[in-house]
Amino acid sequence: MPSQQAPQERNLFQSFLLILIETLLTFLLKHDRMSRHHAQHLIQRRALICVKTHLPSDTFYVTFAPQGVLFDFEMAQNAKIDATVTASTLTLLRAFFTAKPVSFEKISIKGEQQLATELRHLMEYFNLPQIVSDWRSWFTFESNDVTPVSQRMKPLLRRIDEQRLQLSNMSIAAKQQAYELKMIKKRYQILLVMLGVIIMLLLTGLLYTWWYFS
């Protein structure tokens, strides 16, 4: 009886924890315009992400939908996984709460290259320090809007916000190009290694042939 109760309690705790995370991320995604902008393509695609964690070991699924971020322990029948994220639970928590680059480097994302790149960029922006920083600057502007002059400043603030989005898009494009260049260099290095191995095999075969028939 106790052995059956322990898994049930663990499953209840996991379900409760996922509901809390789902509620928090959905709230942030709906009310933070920059995060919603970065996640727009994932939401339009209704991307299904498989998250595999270790320490503890577990697997759950994340769906980007118009109503928010949806978490589940089971994948819907005939559903297609768009990307797989693998990392330790501690690494994912550190990435979200501290946004340290070393934490993002430890997160493995496999799937379609463009979607995986977009998901990694979203994770680099959709974290607590970045959101708090953006909201602080936004509320600073809002708190100063108490005079008629500030009313005339609102169009300017909107243009500044649009420029922020444009700069963010340029940053995403630059990161994506850097990532693609890195992948090209890696493929080039692999090609050189394979070419070197083939040349060595050919030379070995020629030397063996020459020695055998001499």
Out of 62-71, 115-124, 179-188, 202-211, which region has the weakest mean confidence (pLDDT)?
202-211
Q: Which residues pair with 110 in a beta bridge?
A: 84
Q: Is 146 exposed, middle or buried (0-12, 13-18, 19+ CB in 10 A)?
A: exposed
66 half-sphere exposure, CB direction, 13 A CA radius:
1
Residue 197 covered by a domain: no
In this prediction, residue 107 has a pLDDT band, given cuts at 50, 70 and 90, of very high
In this prediction, residue 88 has a pLDDT band, given cuts at 50, 70 and 90, of very high
Most confident listed range (16-25, 48-57, 184-193): 48-57
Comparing 195 with 52, the larger pLDDT belongs to: 52
Q: CB under 8 Å, gap of 24 or more: what pairs does 165-169 form?
A: 165/34, 165/37, 168/34, 168/37, 168/38, 168/125
Residue 207 covered by a domain: no
The pLDDT assigned to 202 comes to 81
Mean per-residue pLDDT over the chain, rounded: 79
Please report, for the domain that includes residue 55, its CATH number: 3.30.1050.10
Residue 171 covered by a domain: no
Domain count, the chain: 1
For the segment 33-54, the average pLDDT, to the nearest whole number, is: 88
Token pair, residue 116, equals 């995986």
Residue 91 covered by a domain: yes
Q: What pLDDT, in 10s, does the model give residues 143-182?
A: 444 444 445 455 556 666 666 777 777 777 777 788 888 8
Residue 90 covered by a domain: yes
Out of 3-7, 45-49, 117-121, 157-161, which region has the weakest mean confidence (pLDDT)?
3-7
Tell me the C-alpha distance between 52 and 84, whole Å: 7
Residue 110 has pLDDT above 90, yes or no: yes
Domain that holds residue 117: 1-132
Q: What is the pTM of this model?
A: 0.59
Torsion region of 99: left, alpha or beta (phi above 0 gives left; psi -120 to 50 gives alpha): left
**Backbone phi, then psi, for 64, in 5-degree steps?**
-90, 115
Per-residue CA distances from 112 to 90, 124, 154 (Å)? 25, 18, 40
Residue 183 covered by a domain: no
For the segment 104-130, the average pLDDT, to the nearest whole number, is: 87
Residue 42 covered by a domain: yes
Residue 154 covered by a domain: no
Tell me the C-alpha distance between 45 and 97, whole Å: 27
The pLDDT assigned to 161 comes to 67
